[in-house]
A and B are shown apart, each in its own frame.
Chain A
Amino acid sequence: MNPALRVTDLRVSFFTRRGEVKAVDGISFEVGRGEVVGLAGESGCGKSTTAYAILRLVKPPGRIIGGSVYCDGAEVLDLDERELRSFRWKKVSMIFQGAMNSLNPVHRIRDQIAEAVTVHEHVSRQEALARAEEMLSLVGISRPRTTDYPHQFSGGMRQRAVIAMALALSPTLLIADEPTTALDVVVERQVLELLKDMKRRFDLSVLFITHDLSTLAEFSNRIAIMYAGKLAETAGTKQLFSNPLHPYTSGLVRSLTGLTERGGKLWSIPGSPPDLAAEIEGCKFRDRCPVATEACSKEAPELLEVEQEHYVACHSVTNG
């Protein structure tokens, strides 16, 4: 099966005055055709950096230092300038965090979407605008409003416009980086429904990045949990929730379900994420882990298949 995206041993580091910060430290995962893969973790665990790396948008002092990103028959990290520019948006497009700011305040909404078209295809301006309007109506923005400027749109409308823009070229893969974080609950629901609808319509593969596991529960097929630059666990959604193996994952799941229990206390994982600039021997989670052992301080655990399609990086789990 030809996956939409295959990431192998991706490494991205930021070279700051304090030293090398290993934001992404060797992660591997796949997104199959028509599959929605959720990438979840705390702030700063490296999920957004992964997304940027796929599009090669990592800015100095960050740099992709190793690994492979294979998408739709091409090795992204080897593309030259021109190939990269045509790859972007056409094969993989992205919805950024805080989409309101993804729109240029001095260009009309319609023009910004048309720009995506004209950059990649040789069509007349007329046709590009027509396609832009088509996309916008798909997401529920009526024709007269397409000539507005971003500040004239509400937050939810802007988010929808951004989605329209991302899908204008019918990409193979859509990366959604925290698409609902900055929105209120009502709008969040609308956007999620819209994303589901779009996925069906365009047969999209989606990489859904978020810190909110509950969103992934209803939307994704598989979930990958990231911690401190590494993958802790990946599994099918149902599997992950019913049988979380990695202590971090079970901590996350527990803090979620704790809200539905009557009279229960709110549970959270004790401690805070490690400093990624510091060299840590062994497993990076061990300071907060309830089942850490000797082995955990010596060697970093590898991501191993424990059940069918269920991978965990934890000594306690793999060594019984």
Chain B
Amino acid sequence: MNALLTYAVALVFIFAIPRLIPGSPEEMMASSYRLPGEVAAVLRARFGLDKSLSEQFLLYVRNVILTFPPDFGISYSYYPAPVWNVVTMYLPWTIFLLALSILLTAIIGILLGILSAWKRGTRLETAISGISMFLLSTPYFWIAMILIMLFGVYIPIFPPAGAYSSRVIYETFFCLEFVVDVLRHAALPVLSLVAGSFASYTIIMRDNMTSTMGEDYVTTAEAKGVETRAVVFRHAARNAVLPILTLFILHIGTMVGGAIVTESVFSYPGVGLLLFNAILNQDYPLVQGFFYVITIMVIVANWVADILYVFVDPRIRY
């Protein structure tokens, strides 16, 4: 219910924002292609910008919600390609990168959190905490650049840019060499994303674990003769991980935003980079399309997490 309301308001918001900004796209396009003034007027009509605002809104709503795939019109900068096509061309790369990063971040972050709570007071824990705090305070793109410097230039293990080697032609789409190549290219971006984000999971998990480990049922498990590792994971961690789900949702939101920076640094052909260029080119339909897709992803993720919560915590049943 909540999700629907948010969706509705977001829809309006997305419609409103491009139109609030000064400047008109058809003029920009006309001037950048050095077209005569009449063409600008034609473009204006073509883009439907000569209609009244409420007419535009109704058309927007109709095209976006009632048709599938949602029709955002034609992209200005990729004219004459429809927005949806442009988006779907670049979306898979971003999803690949983000999915991999989010999963790895969660896993590594949670494990490190459990570890630092378990080995509390040891040098290992201090090291983990120290590194976490430091990474948390560092701007993500800087981490990315340092990684490129270290592993891309000085010790060249991973390629510093692109999603795949553009100069090689592969036989089939998913042959082994291609997969390896893609993974090699994804290594640095994913590494930088993980490095920049795992710290929040670690710190929260550690705090949760610390309070969970003091609970009576953990002592009982120990008294039952359960071995320490099982106590930590099956009993303590299983309970401590519940609030992390909320963090996971928030994280997806920030990651989606972070994709822009990542793809920019690594010249990765995903929607982030595309969005950025769209903004610079004042390509309103494209921008709208992106925001729509992004917001949908976040809302869906929220909704999924709410449902997952029910399965993960038996105390919550509707």
Contacts and interface: CB of A to CB of B under 8 A. Distances in A.
A and B touch in the complex (CB under 8 A): yes
Contacts of B223: 55, 57, 88-89, 93-94, 96
B231 to A, nearest CB: 10
A120 interface: yes
B238 interface: yes
A149 B224 contact: no
Contacts of A55: 223
A55 B220 CA distance: 11
A106 B239 contact: yes
Interface of B: prevailing SS: helix
B314 A106 contact: yes
Interface stretch (A7-15, A97-105, A138-146, A280-288): A97-105
Contact of B225 (A85, A98, A104, A105): A85
Given A85-B225, A86-B225, A88-B225, A102 B220 contact: yes
Contact of B314 (A89, A115, A149): A149
A55 B313 CA distance: 31
Contacts of A106: 238-239, 313-314
A161 to B, nearest CB: 12
A74 interface: no
Interface stretch (B1-9, B156-164, B211-219): B211-219
Interface residues of A, number: 27
A90 interface: yes
A205 B97 CA distance: 62
Contacts of B238: 104, 106-107
A149 B315 contact: yes
The 3 A-B pairs at the shortest CB distance, nearest first, are namely A101-B216, A88-B225, A102-B220
Contact of A102 (B216, B225, B227, B313): B216
Interface string B307-318: 000000111000
Given A101-B217, A115-B226, A119-B226, 12 more contacts: A84-B225, A87-B225, A88-B225, A90-B225, A96-B216, A103-B220, A104-B238, A104-B239, A106-B239, A107-B238, A116-B224, A149-B315
Contacts of B217: 101-105
